[in-house]
Amino acid sequence: MCGIAGICHIDGPDGVSLNSIKRMIGALCHRGPDETGIYLDDQVGLGHARLSIIDLSSGVQPIHNEDKSLWIVYNGEVFNYPELKEDLLQKGHRFYTTSDTEVVLHLYEEQGPDCLTQLNGQFAIAIWDTKKKELFLARDRVGIRPLYYTILNNTVIFGSEIKSIFSNKNVSRRIDPIAMDQIFTFWTTLTPRTVFKDIYELPPGHYMKTSDSKVTFKKYWDIPIYPRAEQSDLAPKEICEQVRDLLQDAVRIRLRADVPVGCYLSGGLDSSGAAALVVRNFNKDVRTFGIRFDNDGFDEGEYQKLMVSYLNVNHTDLTATDEIIGASLPDCLWHCEKPLLRTGPVPLFLLSDVVRKSGYKVVLTGEGADEVFGGYNIFREAKVRRFLAKYPDSQSRAELIGQLYPYIFDNPRLKRTLQSFFAKGLDQIDDPIFSHFIRWENTSRIKTFFSQELNEAIGQYDGYEQVRQSLPEGFERADDFSRAQYLEMAIFLSNYLLSSQGDRVAMAHSVEIRLPFLDTRVMDFMARVPAKWKILGLNEKHILKKSFEGILPKKITSRPKNPYRAPIKQSLLNEKTAEYTKEALSKKSLSRAGLFDAGKVTKLLRKVQAVDNPSEIDSMALVGLLSSQLIHRQFVQNFPARPDNPVSPALIVDRRSEALRAVS
Give the active site residues.
Answer: 2
For residue 308, the number of C-alpha atoms closer than 13 Å in the C-beta half-sphere is: 17
Q: In what side-by-side order are the strands of the sheet with 287-293?
A: 314-320, 287-293, 261-264, 362-364, 512-514
What is the amino acid identity at position 647?
Answer: V
In 10 A of CB 475, how many CB atoms?
A: 15
Residue type present at position 158: F
Q: Which residues contact 212 (CB under 8 A, 6 or more apart)?
A: none
* β-pairing verdict for 70-78 and 121-129: antiparallel
Q: Return the DSSP state at 319.
A: E
Kind plus residue range of the DSSP H or E element containing 128: strand 121-129
Q: Residue type for 74, please? A: Y
| CA–CA dist 327, 579 (Å, integer) | 11
Please report which helix (H) or strand (E) contains residue 464, including its range.
Answer: helix 463-470
Closest C-alpha to 503, from 23, 31, 26, 24 = 31
Alpha helices, DSSP H only, in 159-207?
A: 162-166, 177-186
Sheet bearing 155-159, strands edge to edge: 200-201, 148-152, 155-159, 2-9, 44-50, 35-40, 651-654
Are 327 and 578 within 8 A, CB to CB? no
The alpha-carbon radius of gyration of the chain (Å, integer) is: 25
DSSP H or E stretch at residue 628: helix 616-631
C-alpha 342/C-alpha 357 separation (Å) is 26
Instruction: Give the closest residue to 365 by CA, choosing from 275, 250, 293.
Output: 275
CB neighbours of residue 281 within 10 Å: 13
- Taking the C-alpha atoms of residue 467 and residue 331, their distance in angstroms, rounded to an integer, is 32
